[in-house]
Structure 1
C-alpha cells in the first residue's frame, strides 16, 4: 500500500513509518521538520519537507492510498499562551491535508488524536462515550479535527479512525523521544540520570492515590504503532471510528521515578513542587473497544521494561 505519514519525522510517526516499511508498504513522510528530525526518518521512506498547509502537491504526486496523520503542535502550556499557533497548525493544517486528500482521491486516514479531548473525566478508566470537555487549546484543537473527520466521512466517504491516548513511552526500531522542549516525565527522569539536569520536579504528593502522586496512563510506542496499523484497514467508507488506547491501569509518578532509578542506577534526586492547576489525580484510558473490535492488546505493560527501552536508545544516541 502507498501510505503518506504526516509528521513521520517525529517520535511516534517515525516508529510507525519503520513498522510500515517492515510490513512492505511504500511510505512517503511529509514533515516540515519544525519539531521533527530528518535523521529519524527510516531508510526506505521518501521525505517531503513541507508543511500540512502545502501538502496538496505532494499528495497529487504520491497519490497515497491511505494517510497516517501525526503532525501537530502538542505542548499543552504553550497552547494556552499561543492558541493561534495551535488553531493554525492543528486545525488549519489538518483541513488543508483533508482537502489535499480529497483532490488526490485518497479517503482513508488514521488520525493521532489525544485523550486530552476528554478534559477532567467523571469516571476512570475513560471510555469513548465519556463527555469531551478539553481544558486547554491543544485538546480542543485535536477535538476539532475529530469533528472534522466525522463530517468528511459523512459527506465525502472518508474511512477514518481517531486514536486517543495519553503518554507514549519507550522506544522501537532504535527510535525514541527527542524533543527540543521536553515535558514528558520518563525522558525528564532519564535526563537527570544522564547528567543533563540536576533533579526532577514532582508536582504534588498529596493526591488521593496510594503514594500521593498522580497516576497516568503510559502506552509503549511499539504498541501504539501496532494500533495504528490495525486501525488503517478497519473503517468502511463513510465511517469514523474513535478508539482509546491505554495500558489499563496506569502508573504513579513515584512508580516512574523508582523504575528510572532501577534502570539507570542513578538516585535521580526529586524536588517536590506545588500541584499544577487542573492536574487530576488519575487519568487512565479504557481500551476495551479497540480490544473487542480489532484485537489490539498492549504487549509492553511492564514499566521497568518501558523505561529500559527508552534509556537504551537515549544512551545509544549520546554515544
Structure 2
C-alpha cells in the first residue's frame, strides 16, 4: 500500500519522503506548499486542507507518517486555550476524520524529545515522566495523549517517535536546529549566543539515521496498539563542545557571546535501547562524520 507522508514540504517530511522513494516504496507526500526543487520525481498531493483527511481515497490500512503540524518550537501562544484551538484540536480531529472514513492503518507520529523537559536521569527512557517546558513540547505531549487514546479505543496502530536533534537535512534553512544555526554563524561571522556556558548536553542524530529508523517503523510489525520510541543516538554533546568541533571540521572561527541561561531545558540525552531491540536499528553516523558530510569536508 501507499505510505503517506504529511507535511512533506517541510524539512523532515521532505527527507522522509525522499528516503522512502529512494528505497523503492510507494510513497506519497501531502502538504500545503510545493515540494522543494530537489524533489523532482517525488509524488505529492498539494492541498490547503492537509488535516481534513479528504485527500485520502477509500482508506484501508495505509501507513501515515504524520509530520504536519507546528513548524517551529519558537512560535508563541497567549494561553493554553489558543494552543489547543490552533494546534492540538486540529491534529486530533484529523485522526477522527480518518477513522470516520474507515481507516484502521498505522500512524507514525513525529513528536519531540522536548516532552521530557528537565530530568536528572540520563539517558532518558520512554517511561520517564513528561514535563514540557515550552508551548511546542506541550502541544506534542497533548497530541501524543489524544492519539494514544484514539488508537486504543478504535484499534489502529500508533508509533510515537520522540525525536532528538536531527541535523544534516538538505533543505534545512539557517534557523533549523542548533547545528545549522552554528554553521550559519560560522560562515557569516554573525555572533552566536552561548547560554549558560554551553554545558547542557543534547543528543544529535544525522538525518540519514533518522530516516532509516522511520523506514523500519513502516515495515516492522510491532505488537500492541501504541509504541513509543526515542529517536537519537544515546550520546550527549554539549553546545560548547559542538561549538569547538564545527570550526575544526569546517574551518574558520565562531564569535561566541556568553549569556545567562533562562528557561532552557537542561541536558537531554535519549535511551534508544527500545528502538534498537524492536526495529533492529542503530545509528551509524557519528557527529563528527555527520558534520564533515554536511559541510562537504
TM-score, length of structure 1 as denominator length: 0.84
The structure 2 residue matched to 1:94, chosen from 85, 91, 98, is 91
Q: Distance in 2 between matches of 1:216 and 1:75?
A: 18
Q: Does 1:290 align with 2:275?
A: yes
The residue aligned with 1:208 is none
For residues 269-298 of structure 1, what are the alpha-carbon distances to aligned partners after superposition, in whole Å with 9 as ceiling and x for unaligned? Answer: 111111122431x21010011111111100
Structure 2 CA distance for aligned equivalents of residues 60 and 291 of structure 1 = 35
From the superposition, tell whether residues 108 and 165 of structure 1 become closer, same or farther in structure 2 (CA, over 3 Å): same
Question: Does residue 177 of structure 2 align to residue 177 of structure 1?
Answer: no
CA distance in structure 2 between the partners assigned to 1:164 and 1:107 by the alignment: 20
Q: 1:83 to 1:75 in 2, by over 3 A?
A: farther
For residues 145 and 18 of structure 1, what CA distance do their matches in structure 2 show? 26
Residues 235, 118 of structure 1: alpha-carbon distance in 2 compared, 3 angstrom cutoff: farther
What corresponds to 1:146 in structure 2? Answer: 144
Task: Give the whole-Å Cα distance in 1 for the aligned partners of 2:265 and 2:36.
Answer: 34
**In the alignment, which residue of structure 1 is the partner of 2:289?**
305
Q: 2:192 aligns with which of 197, 200, 207?
A: 200
Which whole-Å CA distance do the structure 1 matches of 2:146 and 2:276 have between them?
A: 25
Alpha-carbon contact 1:170-1:308 (below 8 Å) kept: no
Structure 1 residue 178: Cα displacement: 2.0
Give the CA RMSD over aligned residues.
Answer: 2.5
Deviations 1:27-82 (A, max 9, x none): 2211223xx8543545222232324333x220136877110011121433424557
Query: Can you list the C-alpha shifts for 1:158-190, whole angstroms capped at 9, x where unaligned?
Result: 11100102211123xxx24126xx262211111
Contact 2:11 2:171 in 1 (8 A): yes
Q: What per-residue deviation string (whole Å, max 9, x for no partner) do you get for residues 90-148 of structure 1? A: 42232232123221524211010111111112411100110112122211211122112
Give 2:253's aligned residue: 267
Unaligned segments of structure 2, at least 5 residues? none
| Aligned-partner Cα distance in 2 for 1:156–1:187 | 41
What displacement does 1:215 show?
A: 1.2
Distance 1:88 1:311 in 2: 40
Q: Which residue of 2 aligns with 1:254?
A: 240
Task: Assess if the C-alpha contact under 8 Å between 1:161 and 1:240 holds in 2.
Answer: yes
Unaligned runs of 5+ in 1: 206-211
How many angstroms apart in 2 are the aligned matches of 1:224 and 1:256? 20
